């Protein structure tokens, strides 16, 4: 895993954070031996970022924690901040002060196959990057998808039942106690809920400059545990699930970005590994399908209190995503095995024409 040691000298950071180190064995977490105190850099120019991030190379492949913040983040909600977690530093990339030039400097890394971006639920982040900066987010490890796949392996979960990031961090299998011992003094689960309430009350929260201590802490907490969670999850995924993780991550990235079923200009999807192409294996290619909903008909698809869409979800093994208040308002996105996606699309179209 790359470090940020090749980054140019920057002013001494005003903030630091503890990053949990990759797990070793089942020993109980200790705040000193299981974590590292690292600087938090607020980035306003590309020269403040590590060289290996700005110029991805097949000779230097590595993994980072990744997230975005914005004003009601989506295709139209302004992206204000990108967070990058390296093993020895956290970078808060300021899209407000650095502007388009700074975010475009991140484009090679965010589209690169050589840098794995660990993120929790990449759909809206990818949408904002695509529509606002023409960046096609690629090569993600989505912890929301990974969590679902691990539960599927253990027979615990149905498709389309997604975990929140806070609940993921509280899960003892993947973070749990290390999350508690690494918490910044004074922070708590309650504070994260307070920030969510604040964001609803003031959508411009991420636009304010200079960054407040709360803004820095909140942004940092969304990425500093991701590398630890990545290592805890990857050892629990079998070969079949690892392929699902890669292909679904790619489909999630383009979910809100495509307007039809033609996404040929995006990177190709990972093929089914030859080792999984054996007799009796029911593994099937996975796709993303976009269903256009006529104006005024989305209510018929969703149903009273969501009853209709829930019935459709229960009738097929595919994930069905609706834009909701952020939009797009006239499309339904379906991700899953080809036959299940076609089945879901047919059920949705049936609701449209059913009088």
Would you list the DSSP string of 66-108?
A: EEEEESS-SSSSPEEEEEEEETTEEEEEEHHHHHHHHHHHTHH
Q: Are 128 and 68 in contact (CB under 8 A)?
A: yes
Is the confidence at residue 2, as pLDDT, over 70?
no
The pLDDT value recorded for residue 187 is 47
**Six token digits for residue 319:** 């994930």
pLDDT score of 171 more than 80: yes
Residue 218: DSSP 8-state: H
Percent of the chain with pLDDT over 70: 86
5 vs 326, higher pLDDT: 326
CA 294/CA 284 separation, integer angstroms: 30
Q: Which domains does the chain have, with CATH numbers?
A: 15-173+222-254 (3.30.420.10), 284-351 (3.30.1370.10)
* 3-state class (DSSP) for residue 280: coil
Terminal C-alpha separation, the chain: 57
Question: How high is the pLDDT of residue 328?
Answer: 92
The residues facing 90 across adjacent strands are 40, 85
Token pair recorded at residue 161: 């039942």
Q: What pLDDT was estimated at residue 185?
A: 45
Say which range, 38-52, 64-78, 188-202, 207-221, has the weakest mean pLDDT. Answer: 188-202
Local confidence band at 35 (pLDDT 50, 70, 90 cut-offs): confident
Give whole-number Cα distances, 227 to 1, 7, 56, 185, 339, in Å.
10, 20, 19, 21, 35
Average confidence (pLDDT) over 221-247: 96
Q: What is the pLDDT of residue 142?
A: 98
Query: Long-range contacts for 190-195 (Cβ within 8 Å, ≥24 apart)?
Result: 192/166, 192/218, 192/221
Give the mean pLDDT of 185-199: 66
Q: What is the pLDDT of residue 30?
A: 53
Q: How far apart are CA 73 and CA 78, in angstroms?
A: 6
Q: Does the pLDDT value for residue 245 go beyond 80?
A: yes
Beta bridge partners of 322: 332
CA-to-CA distance for 153 and 313, rounded, in angstroms?
20
Q: 331: alpha, beta or left, given left = phi > 0 and alpha = psi -120 to 50?
A: beta
Number of other CB atoms surrounding residue 218 within 10 Å: 23
Ramachandran angles phi, psi of 57, nearest 5°: -140, 140
DSSP label at 60? B
- Predicted local distance difference test score (pLDDT) of residue 191: 66
> What mean pLDDT do residues 269-278 have?
89
Q: Which residue has the higher pLDDT, 13 or 208?
A: 208
**Mean pLDDT across the chain:** 88
> What is the pLDDT averaged over residues 100-110?
98
**pLDDT value of residue 178:** 59
In the numeric block, which tokens belong to residue 292?
């256009």
Find tokens 């983040």 and name the residue: 73
| Averaged pLDDT for residues 267-289 | 88
Look at strands 79-86 and 62-70 and give their pairing.
antiparallel
159 has a pLDDT exceeding 70: no
Query: Of 4-13, 329-338, 345-354, which has the strongest mean pLDDT?
Result: 329-338
- Which band of pLDDT confidence, cut at 50, 70 and 90, is reported for residue 21? confident
Q: How far apart are CA 103 and CA 81, in angstroms?
A: 9
Of residues 30 and 73, the one with the higher pLDDT is 73
pLDDT at residue 232, rounded to an integer:
94
* Band of residue 186 on the pLDDT scale cut at 50, 70, 90: very low
What is the average per-residue pLDDT within 242-259? Answer: 96
Q: At residue 295, does pLDDT exceed 70?
A: yes
DSSP letter at 327 equals S
* Average pLDDT for 154-175: 83
130-167 b/e (C-beta count within 10 Å ≥ 16 → b): bbbeebbbbbbbbbbbbbbbbeeeeeebebbeebebee
Most confident of 1-5, 23-27, 151-155, 156-160: 151-155
Query: What is the average pLDDT across 32-41?
Result: 85
Across residues 200-222, what is the average pLDDT? Answer: 93
């Amino acid at each position: 895993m790359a470090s940020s040691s090749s980054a140019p000298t920057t002013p001494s950071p005003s903030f630091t954070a503890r990053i949990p180190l990759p797990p070793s064995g089942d020993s109980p977490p200790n705040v000193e031996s299981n974590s590292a105190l690292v600087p938090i850099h607020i980035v306003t120019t590309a020269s403040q970022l590590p060289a290996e991030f700005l110029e991805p190379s097949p000779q230097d492949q590595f993994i980072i924690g990744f997230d975005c913040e914005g004003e009601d983040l989506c295709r139209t909600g302004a992206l204000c901040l990108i967070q990058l977690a390296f093993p020895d530093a956290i970078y808060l990339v300021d899209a407000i002060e650095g502007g388009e030039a700074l975010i475009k400097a991140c484009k090679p890394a965010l589209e690169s196959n050589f840098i794995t971006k660990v993120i929790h639920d990449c759909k809206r982040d990818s949408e904002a990057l695509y529509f606002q900066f023409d960046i096609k987010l690629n090569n993600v490890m989505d912890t929301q998808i990974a969590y679902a796949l691990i539960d599927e392996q253990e027979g615990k979960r149905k498709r389309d039942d997604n975990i929140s990031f806070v609940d993921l961090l509280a899960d003892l299998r993947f973070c749990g106690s290390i999350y508690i011992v690494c918490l910044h003094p004074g922070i708590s689960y309650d504070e994260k809920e307070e920030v969510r309430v604040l964001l609803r009350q003031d959508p411009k929260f991420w636009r304010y400059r200079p960054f407040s201590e709360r803004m820095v802490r909140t942004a940092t907490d969304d990425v500093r545990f991701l590398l630890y969670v990545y290592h805890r999850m990857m050892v629990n995924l079998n070969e079949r699930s690892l392929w699902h993780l890669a292909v679904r991550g790619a489909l999630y990235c383009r979910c809100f970005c495509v307007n039809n079923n033609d996404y040929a200009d995006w990177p190709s999807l990972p093929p089914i590994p030859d080792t999984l192409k054996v007799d009796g294996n029911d593994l099937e290619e996975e796709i993303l399908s976009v269903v256009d909903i006529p104006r005024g008909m989305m209510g018929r698809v969703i149903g009273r209190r969501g009853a209709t869409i829930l019935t459709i979800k229960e009738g097929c093994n595919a994930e069905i995503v609706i834009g909701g208040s952020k939009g797009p308002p006239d499309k339904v996105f379906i991700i899953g095995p080809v036959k299940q996606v076609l089945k879901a699309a047919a059920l949705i179209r049936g609701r449209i024409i059913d009088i």
